[in-house]
Chains A and B, each alone.
Chain A
Amino acid sequence: MGLKGKLHEIKQKYKGKKMAPAFNAIHTFLFTPDETTHSGSHVRAADDLKRTMNTVIMALVPVLVFSIFNAGYQHYSALNGFPEQFSLMEHFLTWKNAWIGIIKILPLLAVSYGVGLLVEFIFAVIKGHEVEEGYLVTGILVPLIVPIDTPLWMLAVAVIFGVVIGKEVFGGTGMNILNPALTIRAFLFFAYPTWMSGDKVWVYEARERSEAILAGATNIDAISGETVLGYLAQNKGAEMAAKYDVWDMFYGFIPGSVGETPTLLILLGGLFLIFSKIASWRIMLSAVLGSLVMGLIFNQVVDMGWITETSKFYGLMSFEFWQHLLVGGLAFGIVYMATDPVTGSQTNRGKWIYGFLIGFLSVMIRVFNPAYPEGVFLAILLMNVFAPTIDHYVLRGNVKRRMKRLQNAVIHPKDTDGKAAELQAETV
Chain B
Amino acid sequence: MSKDIRIKKGLNINLVGAAEKTTSKAVLSNVYALKLDDFHGITPKMLVKKGAEVKAGEALFYNKNIEDMLFVSPVSGELIEIERGARRRILTLKILADKTQKQIEHSVSDLNTVTAKEIKASLLQSGCWPFIKQRPYDVIADPNTTPKSIFISGHNTAPLAADYNYVLQGKEKELQAAISALTKLTPGKVHVSVSAGGSSPLSGLNGIELHKVSGPHPAGLVGTQINKIDPINKGELVWTIAPQDLVIMGEYLLTGKFNAERTIALVGSSVKAPKYYKTKIGTEVATFLYGSGVHGENFRVINGDVLTGSKSSQDGFLGFYNNTVSAIPEGDDYDFFGWNKPIFNKISATRALTFSWLTPKKKFDLNTNTNGEHRAFVLTGQFEKVFPLDIYPMQLLKACMYKDLDEMEQLGLYEVAPEDFALTEFVDVSKQPHQQIIREGLDLLQKEIG
Q: Closest chain B residue to A31 by CB distance?
A: B334
Instruction: Tell me whether A194 is interfacial, beta carbon within 8 Å.
Output: no
Q: State whether A52 and B336 are in contact (beta carbons under 8 Å apart), knowing that A341-B380, A346-B394, A405-B231 are contacts in the complex.
A: no
- The verdict on B370 contacting chain A, using a C-beta distance below 8 Å, is yes
Q: Which residues of B contact A344 (CB under 8 A)?
A: 380
A351 to B380, CA, bound (A): 10
Closest to A11 in B: B334
Q: Which of B328-357 contact A (CB under 8 A)?
A: 328, 330-340, 343, 346-354, 356
- Given the known interface contacts A43-B367, A278-B350, the answer about A412 and B146 at a Cβ–Cβ threshold of 8 Å is yes
Can you name the residue of chain B whose Cβ is closest to the Cβ of A391? B395
A133 CB–B CB distance under 8 Å: yes
Q: Judge whether A418 and B144 touch: CB under 8 Å.
A: yes
A interface secondary structure, majority: loop
B237 at interface (Cβ–Cβ under 8 A)?
Answer: yes
Q: Check: A47 CB closer than 8 A to any chain B CB.
A: yes
Q: Does A415 lie within 8 Å of B351, measured CB to CB?
A: no
Is B209 at the interface (CB under 8 A from chain A)? no
Contact status A42-B339, CB under 8 Å = no
Asked if B148 contacts A410 (CB within 8 A), the reply is yes
Which interface residue of B15, B231, B235, B339 has the most chain A CB atoms within 10 A? B339
CA distance A19 to B32 in the complex (A): 48
Q: Mark B377-420, 1 if CB is under 8 A from A, else 0.
A: 11111101000001110110000000000000011100000100
Q: Are A37 and B368 in contact, CB atoms less than 8 angstroms apart? A: yes
Q: Which of B302, B372, B384, B395 meets A51, CB within 8 Å? A: B372
Please judge, given known A-B contacts A42-B307, A45-B427, whether A346 and B378 are in contact too, CB under 8 Å: no
B44 at the interface (CB under 8 A from A): no
B369 / chain A contacts, CB cutoff of 8 Å: 32, 34-37, 44
A398:B391 contact, CB within 8 angstroms: yes
The answer to whether A423 and B186 touch across the interface, beta carbons within 8 angstroms, is: yes
- Asked if B49 is at the interface (CB within 8 A of a chain A CB), the reply is no
How far apart are the CA atoms of A408 and B188 in the complex, in Å? 14
Q: Which of these, B311, B340, B343, B411, contacts A42 with CB under 8 Å?
A: B311
Count of B residues near A, CB < 8 Å? 92
Bound CA span A411–B235, Å: 6
Flag A394-409 by CB within 8 Å of B: 1 or 0 each. 0100110111011011
| Size of the chain A interface, CB-CB below 8 angstroms | 75
> Across the interface, do B384 and A348 meet the contact criterion of CB distance under 8 Å?
yes
What is the CA–CA distance of A121 and B305 in the complex, to the nearest angstrom? 39
Answer yes or no: A89 CB below 8 A from chain B CBs.
no
Cα-based distance from A341 to B382 in the complex (angstroms): 11
Contacts of A275 in B (CB 8 A): 351
- Residues in chain B near residue A41, CB distance under 8 A: 306-308, 422, 425-426, 434-435
Tell me whether B107 is interfacial, beta carbon within 8 Å: no
Asked if A46 and B145 make an inter-chain contact with CB atoms under 8 angstroms apart, the answer reads no
Known: A42-B306, A42-B311, A398-B411. A36 touches B343 (CB 8 A): no
Please give, as numbers and ranges, the residues of chain A lying within 8 Å of B378 by CB-CB distance. Answer: 49, 52, 134, 173-174, 341-342
A404 to chain B, nearest CB (A): 10
B381 & A348 in contact (Cβ 8 Å cutoff): yes
Q: Are A43 and B13 interface neighbours, CB within 8 A? A: yes
CB-CB under 8 A from A348, the residues of chain B are 381, 384
Contact (A30, B346) CB under 8 Å given A43-B306, A48-B429? no
Q: Report the minimum CB–CB distance from B299 to chain A (whole Å).
A: 11
Partner of A37, one of B370, B377, B380: B370
Contact bitstring A410-426, B, C-beta under 8 A = 1, else 0: 11101110100101110
Shortest Cβ distance from residue B183 to the other chain A in the assembled complex, whole angstroms: 11
Whether A299 sits at the interface, judged by CB under 8 Å, is no
Residues of B with C-beta under 8 A to A52:
350, 352, 378-379, 429
Q: Is the CB of A276 within 8 A of B350?
A: yes
Q: At the interface, is chain B mostly helix, strand, loop or mixed? A: loop
Minimum Cβ distance to chain B for residue A127 (Å): 13
CB nearest to B118 among chain A residues? A421
In the complex, A16 has a CB within 8 A of chain B: no
Q: Are A51 and B116 in contact (CB under 8 A)?
A: no
Please measure, in the bound complex, the distance between the C-alpha atom of A45 and the C-alpha atom of B421, giving whole angstroms. 14
From the candidates B349, B381, B394, name the one contacting A45 in the complex (CB within 8 A): B349
- The answer to whether A44 touches B354, judged by C-beta atoms less than 8 angstroms apart, is no
Report how far A69 CA is from B384 CA in the complex, Å.
41
Give Cα distance in the complex from A130 to B330, angstroms: 24
A40-B373 CB under 8 A given contacts A46-B343, A277-B350, A416-B144: no
Q: Are A39 and B372 in contact (CB under 8 A)?
A: no
Q: Is B316 an interface residue, CB under 8 A from the partner?
A: no
- Complex contact B352–A42 (CB within 8 A): no
Contact of A49 among B333, B366, B422, B430 (CB under 8 A): B430
The reply to whether the CB of B211 lies closer than 8 angstroms to some CB of chain A is no
Q: Verify if A243 is at the interface (C-beta below 8 Å from B).
A: no
Q: Complex: how many Å from CA A47 to CA B394?
A: 18
Please give me the residue from chain B that is nearest to A130 by CB atom: B373
B433 touches which of A40, A134, A280 (Cβ 8 Å): A40
Cross-chain contact A277 with B352 (CB below 8 angstroms):
yes
Q: Of residues 335 to 374 in A, which have CB atoms within 8 Å of B's CB atoms?
A: 341-342, 344, 346-348, 351
> Is A402's CB under 8 angstroms from B347's CB?
no
Cβ of B255 within 8 Å of any chain A Cβ, yes or no, is no
CA A170 – CA B431 in complex, angstroms?
21
Residue of B with least CB distance to A274: B351
Which residues of A sit under 8 angstroms from B435, Cβ to Cβ?
39-41
Find out whether the CB atom of A51 lies under 8 angstroms from the CB atom of B429. Answer: yes
Chain A min CB distance to B230 (Å): 9
Provide the A168-194 mask, 1 if CB < 8 A to any CB of B, else 0: 000111110000000000000000000
B376 touches A412 (CB 8 A): no
Q: Are B375 and A49 in contact (CB under 8 A)?
A: yes
Confirm or deny: A33 has a beta carbon within 8 angstroms of a beta carbon on chain B: yes
Report how far A132 CA is from B433 CA in the complex, Å. Answer: 18
On chain B, the residues within 8 Å of A47 by CB distance are: 348-350, 352, 354, 371-372, 429
Query: Are A278 and B352 closer than 8 Å at their CB atoms?
Result: yes
Is A54 part of the contact surface with B, judged by Cβ < 8 Å?
yes
Q: Does A96 contact B (CB under 8 A)?
A: no
The yes or no answer to B115 lying at the interface (CB within 8 A) is yes
Our pick among A30, A51, A171 for the contact of B352 (Cβ within 8 Å) is A51
Given pairs A275-B351, A398-B411, 4 additional interface contacts (CB within 8 A) = A50-B339, A342-B378, A346-B380, A418-B144
- 23 pairs from A and B in contact (CB 8 Å cutoff): A32-B335, A32-B337, A33-B370, A35-B332, A36-B368, A41-B307, A41-B425, A42-B326, A43-B328, A47-B349, A47-B354, A52-B350, A54-B352, A276-B353, A278-B350, A278-B352, A351-B381, A402-B233, A412-B237, A414-B142, A414-B145, A418-B144, A425-B148
**Which 3 A-B pairs have CB atoms at the shortest separation, nearest pair first?**
A48-B372, A32-B338, A174-B376
